[in-house]
Amino acid sequence: MVLFFYPGAMTYGCTRESCHFRDLHGEFQALGAQPIRHQRRPRRKAEEVLGYALVRLSVALGYERIGAEQFDVRRRIAALGNRRTTFVIDTDLRVLEVIHSEVSMASHADKALEVLRARASAA
């Protein structure tokens, strides 16, 4: 699973990042990975536009309550949203890579694919 957090929904950067994940969705699927955008209240219209599920993190990981706080991406000033962070998570829920970049939206999906390809070639 590739889980990504972003500062603010429906902003330029978030939309750009989400669309880049959408554009690479086939490559993620070919590697057996599912991109998941963390969203407290997933909206069906956004799912239709992006072409992949927006799920509550607790549902994705099978826990009752889990979110940005548990992944330590919440900013001290709530109005600033979460830090733009992507987690590449293995099937055993082990975090393989943490990707940080506030300004390079495309780097998150690209780096996540690199990690997954390296993992696939090593197996």
- Residues with catalytic function: 14
Helices (H), the chain: 12-23, 25-30, 44-50, 57-61, 105-122
What six digits make up the tokens of 50? 């992006």
Distance CA 119, CA 17 (A): 23
Write out the two tokens for 111: 């780096």
Instruction: Please name which of 79, 120, 76, 97 lies closest in space to residue 2, comparing C-alpha atoms.
Output: 97
For the record, the structure tokens of 33 come out as 């990975």
Return the bridge partners of 89, or none.
95
